[in-house]
Structure 1
Amino acid sequence: MAIPLPDGLATPVLVVDPDVLDRNISRMAEASRTRGFALRPHAKAHKCVQIADRQLQAGARGLSVATLGEAEAFARAGVDDLFIAYPVWPDADKAQRLRRLADDVALRVGVESVEGAQQLGKAVQGSARPVEVLVEVDSGSRRTGVQPLHAGEVGKAAADAGLNVGGVFTFPGHGYGHDAQARERAARDEERTLGEASQVLRDLGLDVRVVSGGSTPTVGQWQPGAVNELRPGVYVFNDATQLAIGTCGVEDLALCAVATVISVPAADRFVLDLGSKTLGSDRSSWVTGHGYLPQFPQGTVTSLWEHHAVVRLPEGVQGPRLGALVAVVPNHICTPVNLADELVVVRDREVIDRWQVTARGANT
């Protein structure tokens, strides 16, 4: 990552390198196209209309989102094909919102229980367009999703509730790991479980058109066959976790948080004016500290408060002066984006644009 930081930035702020961003988008679009997958990127990573437009122009079939609120935000911006990749439980308010959304866009929603399918069917009765559902399958993440053999129960309940059953989906979250073998195993688990669940639905006479999986860590491990749609998200920016597990290089990092050095209490330590309210507080076993420092790759963000980040340097490494700007790549990009009002776009030390985080805080 080599974003030349312009002078005069009000920090802390999230900065985007548009050339790296566009390269990441183009590379994923080309990989999906040449290997025969439909691409439906997960927009929770960026929540930004300008980035969604770039993905769609590069050939994405539509967007995936995590919440009804995100779907509404992108629908207002003109995106007309959306998949809420989440087992939404519609209360009275969400039912009304789902019906309005289904009137305006081609809408998919995730289901993973008989009760959830029945509740969703009641919620969208009377919508102008049919709502398509995909049955969520657990491929190893142990989060949400049914075991493949139980996909038929959920699919039949959805069909009986008047929903259009379109297929199955999963999230191979266990693909996060230090080695390519972990990603390989997760991709194969994904293909196996989705293939089994698809066959169960077909045996019931349901038309399985969409078999949806994929995540940024399993990029490069996908094989044509059982899966025909991919939903990676973080790839547009990448982050310190992706760098640590080897799914991207430093040159693929498209976003950083920029901070100002506000204190230099010792030769091996300095303090930045950003904290958990900018970076989020994600930690993982793959990442040392609270972020990656492109200008000080041997440094570690050892402590994080709401508005302070303490960085320690190895002996002999020259630190920055007071008032200097320092870039920090977040451990997990989705949270910092959701905390920001805008993304500042910088090229050649110049601010060339400011993009609103359209779906910021759209968490319901």
Structure 2
Amino acid sequence: MRETPYLVVDELVAEGNLATMAAHARALGVALRPHAKTHKTVELAHRQLEHGAVGLTVATVGEAEVLADAGLDDLFIAYPLWAVGPRADRLRALAGRVRLRVGADSVDGVRMLARAVHAGRDSAAPLAIAVEVDSGHHRSGMPPEDAAEVAVAALDAGLAVDGVFTFPGHSYGLEAAGPAARDEAAALEAARDALTAAGIPCPVVSGGSTPSVRSADGSVLTELRPGVYVFGDAQQWELSATTSESISLTARATVVSRRDGVAVLDAGSKILGADRAPYATGYGRLLDHPEARISALSEHHATVAFPTGTTIPALGAELRVVPNHVCNAVNLVDELIVERDGIEVGAWSVTARGRNT
């Protein structure tokens, strides 16, 4: 008997999610390059490739190093890296052993990347960039119509140019997925056209988030990069981007206190994470009690409010908790316990946990 709290993956549900997204990408006629920052595990990375992914997306050099060590050889760091000092050395070494693409959204950025991988004539390593454009999330990314400036600078600096990409992060909102997907297509089309008008081929037009992926425009995009879809979480559930039946990762937690309408669990922010988006109705949900909400969260306590008239689970009862943001929850543990048909069958090491540089 395991001591709670811990994170559990329902292997069969996860496999179903992998197959469903792979089928969607095939039907859309685009490549699938899932974001591994969600699961941070070698096992799921390989399973995504087995389902037809062309490679993996990551957020950091550290995540890329973990996957490269596990034999994955086509990686996209979808982030405007500032690679100086030790990170520059690591990037150059990584580019020397895998097919590597890195995001960039400035002329200074691509010049810095070129210096990093061309530090010495004998140590030069091949590196491709994708120009990041802002499609409405207003985080990183340049105006789409100016994308050619970065692409030209990259070519002048001796880098290859794969194409353009964006993250439609404003899809994380109620009724926001469709409009965000349309913004994504418009921005990527403008960026692609800017490159081709400058005489630069643009074979990769990359986008996608888990909420917006169902509305992605296959006439513009050539590549999708969803991440959360493999597990699902309470955010996706509330946005109707997944259903309770498709949520494959939960925290197993024990009821340690109870009173009328309330149960307190031993799974706090140190295993669930503390994210609560503006649209979220709580700090997490219970898979088997869909009307309940985590109304308060501290480090080791989750206070769950149940609807009036509901029978409150008994002291000692183990419940399945759905974190609001699964990416954060996974990064808080060393391993994911794997179950099949409710029976523990193994554990996956969260190998890229904490690889934030």
Please, which of 116, 138, 150 is the counterpart of residue 142 of structure 1?
Answer: 138
Q: How big is the shift at 1:76? A: 0.7
> 3-state DSSP class of the match of 1:339?
coil
Separation in 2, partners of 1:27, 1:45: 17
Contact 1:63 1:83 in 2 (8 A): yes
1:228-267 → structure 2 map (5 Å cutoff): 228-264=222-258, 266-267=259-260
Give, in angstroms, the shift of residue 88 of structure 1. 0.2
- RMSD, aligned α-carbons: 1.1
Aligned equivalent of 2:284: 291
**Distance (whole Å) between structure 2 residues aligned to residue 35 and residue 312 of structure 1:** 41
CA distance in 1, matches of 2:337, 2:34: 22
Paired position in structure 2 for 1:198: 192
Whether the aligned pair in 1 keeps the contact of 2:117 and 2:125 (CA below 8 Å) is no
- 2:173 aligned with 1:177: yes
1:73-92 matched pairs, under 5 angstroms: 73-92=66-85
**Greater mean deviation of Cα atoms: 348-357 or 131-140:** 348-357
Q: Say which of 29, 36, 42 aligns to 1:36.
A: 29
How many Å separate the matches in 1 of 2:20 and 2:193? 32
Contact 1:277/1:339 (8 A) holds in 2? yes
Q: Secondary structure at the match of 1:45?
A: coil
Q: Look up the match of 2:263.
A: 270
**Partner residue, 2:294:** 301
Which deviations, in whole Å up to 9, do the C-alpha atoms of 1:210-262 show, x marking residues without a partner?
Answer: 11001111122122222100000000011111110111111110100111111
Runs of 4+ in 1 over 4 A off after TM superposition: 126-129
- Between the aligned partners of 1:296 and 1:200, the Cα distance in structure 2 is 50
1:76-225 pair list within 5 angstroms: 76-125=69-118, 126=121, 127=123, 129-179=125-175, 182-225=176-219
> What amino acid does structure 1 have at the position aligned with 2:14?
L
Question: What are the Cα deviations for residues 140-197 of structure 1, in whole angstroms up to 9, with x where unaligned?
Answer: 0000000012111111111111110110000001112222xx2121111111111111
1:136 partner amino acid:
E
Q: CA deviation at 1:129?
A: 4.2
Q: Cα distance, 1:347 vs. partner?
A: 1.9
Q: Distance in 2 between matches of 1:188 and 1:253?
A: 27
Per-residue CA deviation, residues 275-325 of structure 1 (Å, 9 max, x unaligned), is 111010010122211101122222221111111111122221111111110
For structure 1, the 5+ residue unaligned runs are: 1-7
Letter in 2 for 1:249: T
SS at match of 1:345: strand
Tell me which residue corresponds to 1:317: 310
Secondary structure of 2:255's partner?
strand
Deviation at 1:349, TM superposition (A): 2.8
Counterpart CA distance in 1 for 2:67 and 2:179 is 34
Deviation at 1:326, TM superposition (A): 1.0
One-letter amino acid of the structure 2 residue matched with residue 218 of structure 1: S
Unaligned runs of 5+ in 2: none
Looking at structure 1, the residues matched to 136 and 76 of structure 2 have their Cα atoms a distance apart, in angstroms, of 22
Q: Does 1:58 align with 2:54?
A: no
Quote the offset at 1:348 in angstroms: 2.7
Relative to the length of structure 2, the TM-score reads 0.97
The answer on whether the counterparts of 1:130 and 1:163 sit within 8 Å (CA) in structure 2 is yes
* Paired residue type of 1:16: V
1:226 aligned partner:
220
Q: Secondary structure at the match of 1:292?
A: strand
- 1:102 and 1:128 in contact (8 A); partners too: no
Per the normalisation by structure 1, the TM-score is 0.95
Counterparts of 1:317-336 in structure 2, within 5 Å, are: 317-336=310-329
User: Deviation of residue 128 (structure 1)?
Assistant: 5.5
Task: State the secondary structure of the residue aligned to 1:328.
Answer: strand
Asked if 2 retains the 8 angstrom alpha-carbon contact of 1:67 and 1:86, the reply is yes
